[in-house]
Each structure stands twice: as structure tokens, then as C-alpha cells.
Amino acid sequence: MSDQRFLGEFELMILLAIIRLENATYGVPMARELSEVRDRNVSLGSVYAALDRLEIKGFVKSTLGESTPERGGRAKRYFSVTPGGIRALHETRHVLSGLWKSLPPIKGGLA
């Protein structure tokens, strides 16, 4: 069973994207940000699936905005990182940094 204090790669990227976008953001800007940073398409469905997992874990919280005519009367769901999400970011960074520092020299690096 996985330890819920640590984040998977995509969850980590989602939390960092929310913070980069200054919290209270929704799925479309997050998918756009991640697509740009990763230099490959990130589907909106994968973003929302990760956001749902992160919300269940208590690492993000969501609020509904006002409904808008351009969205057919539907409201946008805005996400922000919780204090638990910030702790998970720090713990994940600590673990990853420790792993990187403990590696022997890697041969056959990138050209």
C-alpha cells in the first residue's frame, strides 16, 4: 500500500502547477501549464482525475465559482493547495532530494 504522505509524479506536478498559477485555478489552465512545461499534451481528464485523488487525500480543496452562460450555466471548480498538500510537497521533495544525492555517478548520461 502506498504512503499517502508522498506524491506520485503527476500529483506532484499538479500541486506545483496550482501554486505556479497562484492557487484558486481550475483544470483548463492547469492542463495548459503542464502541457507547456512538459512539452507534450496533458489531457483535461487526467488533470481532473488527479485533482479528485488529491482532494480525497486532503491535499487540495475545491470551491465552485459562479455559473457562466459560456459554460452552459455550469460553474467552474477552482482548486487550491491545502496545508496538508504543502506538507506532502515538502516531504516528497525531501525524499527525492535524498535519493538524488545518494546516487552513484550515472554513466551514459544524456547527450
CA end-to-end distance (rounded Å), the chain:
37
**Considering the entire predicted model, what is its pTM?**
0.81
Map out the domains of the chain with their CATH numbers.
9-100 (1.10.10.10)
pLDDT at 108 over 80: no
Q: Residue 109: which pLDDT band, with cuts at 50, 70 and 90?
A: low
Report helix, strand or coil for 15: helix
Rounded to an integer, the average pLDDT of 85-111 is 85
* Mean pLDDT (whole number) for 15-36: 92
pLDDT of amino acid 87:
94
Whether pLDDT at 20 is above 90: yes
Task: With beta carbons less than 8 A apart as the criterion, state whether 32 and 89 touch.
Answer: no
Q: pLDDT tens, 27-64? A: 999 999 999 998 999 999 999 999 999 999 999 999 99
